Amino acid sequence: MMLRRILYDNLSYRREDTPCPLPPFFISPPEKREKLLRAARHEFARVPFDEASINRIIREAGIPRGSFYMYFQHREDLFHYVMGLYAQQLVGLFSHLLKEAQGDLFSAFQALFQTFLRLRGEADILEFQNILHCNAGMRQGALLGVMEPTRILESLSGQIDTQRLDLREGEELGDMLHILVSATGPFLCAALSREDTQSLERRFSAQMQILRRGMERPRA
């Protein structure tokens, strides 16, 4: 449970901020909520979303079917909420790494990649990996959704050292985040599944260096 401990210790906003559950979910006993979410993660990590069964989820969680529909209107809502919790965890982790990097965005993204490599065998990471694997068509899109740039910007804008960045217009910070998230997402997916991590590290580091320095030579 190392990953979950690191992530939850560094959350930048509360789990309840993620939409979808109906109000009774948040006033139910915490252990009951966690049983349902654990069962949902197990199911979404076992089969593709279209094959996921509410019956199997509630059976594992030990709750009546009626209780499920008091908490979530649809299976899609539950899936969205589970992915939203991963988003919270990742943004919380990124916040911690950004502080350690003293606001350096590029160093923080590189540290995030290294963290994925280091924790790839952890149970929580494997569960997330299996959810992505079961839904192969959404792998990169899911990670981009989980690391949604607007969410990062809203939560962490005060921690980013903008003096390091060549910002020329008001919205460029959001655009830079979008580019960095788009560049990092596929490498995070690969970090969870690739055996040849050395070449992966070299490629990721090279791409970060290109983005850091820019791609066009200054004109004389």
Highest mean pLDDT among 19-28, 40-49, 130-139, 161-170: 40-49
DSSP letter for 106, please.
H
Q: State both tokens at 21.
A: 């559950």
Ramachandran class of 186: left when φ > 0, alpha when ψ lies in -120 to 50, beta otherwise: alpha
User: How large is the average pLDDT for residues 20-48?
Assistant: 94
Residue 163 CB neighbours (<10 A): 7
DSSP letter for 219, please.
P
What is the band of 41 on the pLDDT scale with cuts at 50, 70, 90?
very high
The percent of residues in the chain predicted with pLDDT above 70, rounded, is 83
Q: Give the range among 3-17, 27-41, 103-117, 190-204 with minimum mean pLDDT.
A: 3-17
Q: Give the range among 4-18, 125-139, 201-215 with minimum mean pLDDT.
A: 4-18
Residues 6+ apart with CB under 8 A from 44: 52, 79, 82, 131, 134
Backbone angles phi, psi at 217, to 5 degrees: -65, 140
User: Domain residue spans in the chain?
Assistant: 2-213
Tell me: pLDDT of 17 over 60: no
pLDDT tens per residue, range 95-116: 999 999 999 999 999 999 999 9
Torsion, Cα 38 42 45 47, to 10 degrees, reads -140
What is the band of 10 on the pLDDT scale with cuts at 50, 70, 90?
very low
Could you tell me which CATH number the domain at 2-213 has?
A: 1.10.357.10
Residue 64 CB neighbours (<10 A): 10
At residue 40, the 3 state secondary structure works out as: helix
Tell me: pLDDT of 71 over 90: yes
How much is the pLDDT for 45? 92
Query: Max alpha carbon distance in the chain (Å)?
Result: 72
Residue bearing tokens 């210790």: 9
Average pLDDT, the chain: 83
